[in-house]
Amino acid sequence: MSQQYYATAPASTSAKAQRSDWWRDAVIYQVYPRSFADSNGDGMGDLEGIRTRLPYLRDLGVDAVWLSPFYASPQADAGYDVADYRAVDPMFGNLLDADALIRDARGLGLRIIVDLVPNHSSDQHEWFKRAVAEGPGSPLRDRYHFRPGKGANGELPPNDWESIFGGPAWTRVADGEWYLHLFAPEQPDFNWDHPAVGDEFRSILRFWLDMGVDGFRIDVAHGLVKAEGLPDLGSHDQVKLLGNDVMPFFDQDGVHEIYRQWRLILDEYSGERIFVAEAWTPTIERTANYVRPDELHQAFNFQYLATAWDAEELREVIDRTLEAMRPVGAPATWVLSNHDVTRHATRFANPPGLGTQIRTAGDRELGLRRARAATLLMLALPGSAYIYQGEELGLPDVVDLADEVRQDPAYFRGAGQDGFRDGCRVPIPWTREGSSYGFGAGGSWLPQPSEWADLSVQAQTGDPDSTLELYRSALAVRRAQPDLGAGDAVEWLRAPEGVLAFRRGEFVCVANTGNEAVTTPAYGRLLLASGEVAEADGEAKVPADTTVWWTTA
């Protein structure tokens, strides 16, 4: 596999990081702390490990780093069950480590965005422990959703809601009452109708803003407000409705008043701090409601993430996204992978859908070729892009993990999410050798395949055909080209079936999603391509599953 490009030295991130509206075209890199870098050899990534690898992220060319949760937690759901929002879990370090990480990032021209988990706490949160201990009638129970059950003796759940991880969304405590948890039983949902909950999270926001963070990614941003009376849904296949319909526990209009209050706090701080919403909604148009001028800044584009590698489908979701964001003045966002979905190097080997099984070396080659092409397409679109750690190495999902090493709670509950999120969370490789390929001195909390030695940062650095060098080149070109980055429109060009072609000023992108090579105009000076491109007599032969960038300047 070969790529063509004109070398462009990475520009300093500092100027862009300091300018106005940096977030409108930012490339934001997601770090999953337990799987990024381990500084003390205990097999678990930590904040100090991340801090030592910040120069790598600067040199990669990203603008900001989003950290998945590192708060004090029993780790029932990999830290998304928070026991103390103002403390660092000892497995990741302490507050001094967080402070050092934030300061070092700032010195390198990188911004830090931290995860915030406001829909639910851990069942080991002090509020919840006291609510259970004090029994029915405790004022603390009003900060969660405690209800008597149905049936002659209250033996049935209060309604028919199901957990995203499978099974009922209610668990009964010893005194007979039930509490709501849309995720694992260890993650009781807050009652956002109670003023103490809002007060607490406004305080948490200020705590981390005072620490110097540049923003927050809001977990389950669509889930805080539940429909009045907690009505039955009337369906027993609720997981399939997620993101496809308005539900009584998701995407309720009341969430927007919460975010208007939060925005007032954020705007008190200098430096253009931002909010990013994880908002699963039925349509892109409803997602746009979260990024109105007085609410949040960005929202993840899950419709784009779920789109197959198909020119017609991609063009439709790109157009709808840009049209939806334009009236609210928010940037579009584009994302291909994260810690909750199958990596796109695997997903695109098994269209359609989000399949996880790669059967042959040919499948792996196909998935990687499409992933590289999809990345160049994503980075050419107007707005902001998200990169999930390891995708710059072309990492696939690890699909053959043994049951005894898995930790995804959905895997053990069944009937909910597919339960295979561990496959995209395996620690990334840094070196060709070592017990964990440079992740740390003491192995890794999930086993890495032996073939990852050849996918390591060390193995790919300096290899012009590697996926890592493709990412480095793409981010450098993106930064250098004035027509890339922020914007709200593309000019579509005529193209063969299965091909996307668009212009943005003097920049042209062509993406061939088909199974055969196509001939297109050579639109100017070749900037970058995800595979071999032959040019002659003003034409270009673009192979299958290949994206090409040109400039007419």
**Catalytic site residues?**
219, 268
Cα separation, 375 vs 380, in Å, equals 9
546 within 8 A of 528, measured Cβ to Cβ: no
198 within 8 A of 261, measured Cβ to Cβ: yes
Both tokens of 348, joined, read 């695109």
- What are the backbone angles phi and psi of residue 23, rounded to the nearest 5°? -75, -15
Cα separation, 412 vs 372, in Å, equals 33
Residue 456 backbone class (left: φ over 0; alpha: ψ -120 to 50; beta: rest): beta
Q: Any alpha helices (H) in 152-217, and if so which ranges?
A: 195-211
Cis geometry, peptide bond prior to residue 352 (ω within 30 degrees of 0): yes
Other Cβ atoms closer than 10 A to 176 = 13
262 within 8 A of 290, measured Cβ to Cβ: no
Q: Under 8 Å CB-to-CB from 200, ≥6 apart: which residues?
A: none
265 within 8 A of 210, measured Cβ to Cβ: no
**In DSSP terms, which residues pair with 168 in a beta bridge?**
162
Please tell me the total number of residues recorded for the chain in this structure.
553
Burial (CB count within 10 angstroms: exposed 0-12, middle 13-18, buried 19+), residue 346: buried
DSSP type of residue 116: E
Residue 150 backbone class (left: φ over 0; alpha: ψ -120 to 50; beta: rest): beta
**CA distances in angstroms from 544 to 329, 498, 512, 527, listed in the order given:** 36, 9, 6, 19
Helix (H/G/I), strand (E/B), else coil: 72: strand
Q: Under 8 Å CB-to-CB from 24, ≥6 apart: which residues?
A: 331, 383, 384, 485, 486
Give the residue carrying structure tokens 């197959």. Answer: 308
Burial (CB count within 10 angstroms: exposed 0-12, middle 13-18, buried 19+), residue 229: exposed
Both tokens of 494, joined, read 């005529």
Q: Given CA atoms 451, 453, 455, 459 in this order, what sign does their dihedral have?
A: negative
